[in-house]
């Protein structure tokens, strides 16, 4: 147990150093603020452009009220929370590519006394810290700049902590599935995480409510655990779903969302463990841990 904790602590420290050593502390702090906020501000600009187009009829029959005002905080909060999905879930898979292709140290980490899977848990913890700080800064800027966000925010702290705890385990399990796949993908590992990121961003209801997507696509959306996590995070941060944004999960209570998320997380953890062990043995047997594709 102590060896696992030592590996976790050192891997988290190493992950943080790898993320921050390219800049001074003040410059990195500015980067952590600017990166997530700029992404959210682009979405806000798109919202106001679409709202103006809807009011003037530039994209169809004019709507006197434009786009529902509740859509702005929905989109802003969802995008801020999705930052954790990117940093943890896809950061873990990229750690495999980075350690093998760039630093060429993955094989040596594997044969060292450190626990291989615990090492990646520590790397994920470092990325989770970065994502959490970025998300908090992003939400803080939204509260300062936009009255719609200030009006909508109604934090339920106990449920927020519950969703963060369960969601952290879910994101780690998803990240380990992608990382396990990358162990045996010497050339296209980084593109796997980027492709999955785009699909999850669309299908989890980050920007568009689920009811705005085609009906045949909604069952796919409801099969993703990130859909339930983001819905729960929005409920914990903003309260009940506005009438204009109601969808397939609108009638679910916070407890039902948490139970569904807990169940899917348990399945994902078991699947991640089985797939990781198989992928690890296969990668070692075929020499994939030291294979370098020059990417």
Higher pLDDT, 193 or 253: 253
In this prediction, residue 59 carries a pLDDT of: 55
In this prediction, residue 254 carries a pLDDT of: 93
**Residue 167 CB neighbour total at 10 angstroms:** 24
Higher pLDDT, 62 or 42: 42
**Residue 153 CB neighbour total at 10 angstroms:** 16
- Contact (Cβ atoms closer than 8 angstroms) between residue 217 and residue 247: no
- Contact (Cβ atoms closer than 8 angstroms) between residue 59 and residue 231: no
In this prediction, residue 60 carries a pLDDT of: 53
Mean pLDDT of the chain: 86
In this prediction, residue 268 carries a pLDDT of: 93
Mean pLDDT of 279-294: 83
Most confident stretch, 114-128, 142-156, 265-279: 265-279
- Contact (Cβ atoms closer than 8 angstroms) between residue 180 and residue 277: no
* Six-digit token string for 15: 């992950």
For 185-216, how does the pLDDT look when each residue is reduced to its tens digit (9 = 90+)?
Answer: 876 666 777 788 888 888 998 888 888 888 89
- Please report which confidence band the pLDDT of residue 176 belongs to, taking 50, 70 and 90 as the band edges: very high
> Whole-angstrom Cα distance, residue 282 to residue 276?
10
**211 alpha carbon, distance to own chain's centre:** 22
pTM of this structure: 0.89
For 222-242, how does the pLDDT look when each residue is reduced to its tens digit (9 = 90+)?
Answer: 999 999 999 999 999 998 888
- Please report which confidence band the pLDDT of residue 58 belongs to, taking 50, 70 and 90 as the band edges: low
Higher pLDDT, 161 or 295: 161
Higher pLDDT, 234 or 66: 234
In this prediction, residue 66 carries a pLDDT of: 64
For 90-114, how does the pLDDT look when each residue is reduced to its tens digit (9 = 90+)?
Answer: 888 888 888 888 888 888 988 888 8
Q: Where are the alpha helices (DSSP H) in the chain?
A: 2-20, 25-56, 71-84, 91-97, 106-111, 116-145, 147-152, 157-183, 189-203, 218-222, 225-238, 254-286
* Six-digit token string for 226: 């990130």
Among the listed residues 211, 234, 193, the one whose alpha carbon sits nearest the alpha carbon of residue 79: 234
pLDDT at 290 over 70: yes
> Whole-angstrom Cα distance, residue 118 to residue 208?
36
């Amino acid at each position: 147990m102590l060896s696992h904790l030592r590996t976790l602590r050192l891997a988290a420290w190493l992950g943080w150093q790898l993320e921050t050593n390219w800049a001074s502390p003040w410059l990195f702090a500015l980067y952590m603020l600017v990166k997530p906020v700029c992404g959210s501000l682009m979405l806000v600009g798109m919202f106001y452009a679409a709202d103006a187009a809807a009011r003037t009829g530039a994209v169809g029959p004019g709507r006197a009220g434009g786009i529902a005002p509740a859509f702005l905080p929905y989109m802003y909060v969802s995008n801020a929370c999705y930052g954790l999905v990117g940093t943890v879930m896809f950061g873990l898979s990229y750690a495999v590519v980075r350690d093998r292709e760039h630093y060429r140290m993955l094989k040596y980490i594997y044969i060292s006394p450190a626990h291989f899977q615990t090492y990646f848990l520590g790397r994920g913890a470092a990325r989770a810290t970065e994502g959490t700080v970025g998300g908090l800064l992003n939400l803080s800027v939204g509260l300062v700049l936009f009255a719609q966000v200030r009006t909508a925010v109604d934090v339920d702290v106990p449920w927020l902590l519950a969703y963060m705890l369960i969601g952290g385990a879910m994101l780690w399990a998803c990240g380990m599935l992608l990382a396990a796949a990358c162990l045996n993908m010497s050339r296209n590992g980084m593109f796997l995480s980027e492709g999955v990121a785009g699909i999850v961003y669309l299908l989890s209801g980050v920007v568009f409510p689920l009811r705005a997507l085609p009906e045949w696509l909604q069952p796919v959306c409801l099969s993703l655990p990130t859909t339930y996590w983001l819905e729960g995070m929005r409920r914990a941060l903003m309260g009940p779903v506005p009438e204009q944004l109601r969808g397939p999960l609108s009638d679910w209570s916070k407890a039902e969302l948490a139970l569904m998320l807990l169940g899917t997380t348990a399945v994902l953890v078991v699947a991640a463990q089985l797939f990781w062990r198989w992928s690890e043995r296969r990668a070692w047997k075929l020499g994939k841990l030291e294979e370098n594709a020059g990417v």
